[in-house]
Amino acid sequence: MANTPLAILDLVPISSGSNAAQALRNSIDLARQAERLGYARYWFAEHHLNPGVACTSPAVVLALTAAATRSIRIGSGAVQMGHRTALATVEEFGLIDALHPGRLDLGLGRSGGGPPRRGAASDPASFGVVNGRAPSGLLIPPRFSPEALLKSPRLAAQRRLLQLPNAEPQEYAEQIDDVLALLAGSYTSPEGVQAHAVPGEFAQGQVWILGSSGGQSAEVAGRRGLRFAANYHVSPATVLEAVDGYRASFRPGAIDRPYVSVSADVVVAEKEATARELATGYGLWVRSIRSGAGAIEFPTPDEARRHTWTDADRALVADRTDTQLVGSPKQVASYLEQLRDATGADELIVTTVTHDHEDRVRSYELLAEEWNGR
């Protein structure tokens, strides 16, 4: 088991009754704890206009975290390239790499620009899924359609505020090629001008592509020989097609063979009942995201229980709540084994959100102890 590394993805959640400054302090503390516990990586996500999420700039939080830790790999999961340029991204992360060389993972995602471009939907049965279960026992729920979410006024406001007027996102594959060329020091403009990002020329093997389906992100990662992170915690229904699309597209490049990490939402406590109590607010939190309003401050169990659920609410979050891995250390480690075996993952990324920071730290501690002891 120890040869399957565990990593952490942190959204820097803000709990009800707290604030962004405390959330950031909590995350930096958690990164220190993760280093002590032997986690392989510590990544930060990028989100905007979410009252309950404080990580709007992975590069800024990574710089703070790098200074507070010594050896754990740190990275973005992921930079939203739809509203950024290749040069700005390479230069930002190059500054971090200059002071903390060899520790940085540059995770890139398509989000933040136009609508997602997906490949044709795969039949779950083609991956051996029967009655919603992969051969390993992993739950593969029905697909969630994001169309209503993508039309939300908040996302329209986000695009308007993040992009310059009349600007159009660069085509994603071309953008990734520009990132790779700048990292390698080989960028030449269409007019023949050479350009160098200083600081910013670090190893292409530290680049990851994040994706939720077998569409463009998986193909770009595979064809350029990059590492790929598939999001079971965001889109559990499409995780198998995502890793399959990546492997089918893979050509040696920055790395010689396919390398896959797969994410999952987890909550661990000494007893299953305690873990489920800690996870009580998760469904309401996902509902706030899926409804288009943006992530709320993460509620206490009592606050979450006061919500009156409708059938529509339950349907909106069912795929996420059903695939959150909640329980004792032994239970959650077994669930993660199912995820690893179903996807053939080289490593796993876990993300835990609880109201109290101490419970989040303890969840990661219990999981690391169980995982490393198997």
207: three-class secondary structure by DSSP = strand
Task: Give me the pLDDT at residue 112, please.
Answer: 61
Cα(78)–Cα(44) distance, rounded to whole angstroms?
7
Cα(85)–Cα(166) distance, rounded to whole angstroms?
15
For 206-259, the pLDDT digits (tens) are: 999 999 999 999 999 999 999 999 999 999 999 999 999 999 999 999 999 999
List the single range of 2-6, 15-19, 234-238, 282-286 with lowest mean pLDDT. Answer: 2-6
SS (H, E, C) 22-55: HHHHHHHHHHHHHHHHCCCEEEECCCCCCCCECC
Find, among 281, 283, 275, the residue nearest to 333 by Cα: 275
pTM, full prediction: 0.95
Looking at residues 357-369, what average pLDDT do you find? 98
Phi, psi angle pair for 106, to nearest 5°: -100, 95
Pairing between β-strand 73-76 and β-strand 104-109 as defined by DSSP bridges: parallel
- Residue 134 burial by Cβ neighbours in a 10 Å radius (0-12, 13-18, 19+): buried
Beta carbons within 8 Å of 223's beta carbon, 6+ residues apart: 249, 250, 251, 253
Task: Give me the pLDDT at residue 113, please.
Answer: 53
In this predicted structure, the answer to whether residue 363 has a pLDDT above a threshold of 60 is yes
Cα(39)–Cα(7) distance, rounded to whole angstroms?
5
Task: Give me the pLDDT at residue 118, please.
Answer: 53
Cα(13)–Cα(357) distance, rounded to whole angstroms?
10
First-to-final CA distance of the chain: 5
Beta carbons within 8 Å of 159's beta carbon, 6+ residues apart: 83, 112, 113
For 84-94, the pLDDT digits (tens) are: 999 999 999 99
Q: Which domains are assigned to the chain?
A: 6-372 (3.20.20.30)
Find, among 343, 368, 331, 374, the residue nearest to 72 by Cα: 368
Task: Please list the alpha-helical segments (H only) found in 185-328.
Answer: 216-223, 239-249, 272-278, 282-290, 301-305, 311-323
Task: Give me the pLDDT at residue 1, please.
Answer: 43
- Whether 117 and 87 have beta carbons less than 8 Å apart is answered as no
Q: How confident is the model at residue 97 (pLDDT cuts 50, 70, 90)?
A: very high
Looking at residues 262-278, what average pLDDT do you find? 98
Looking at residues 292-302, what average pLDDT do you find? 96
Token pair listed for 355: 């109201």
Beta carbons within 8 Å of 326's beta carbon, 6+ residues apart: 266, 267, 268, 272, 275, 276, 279, 332
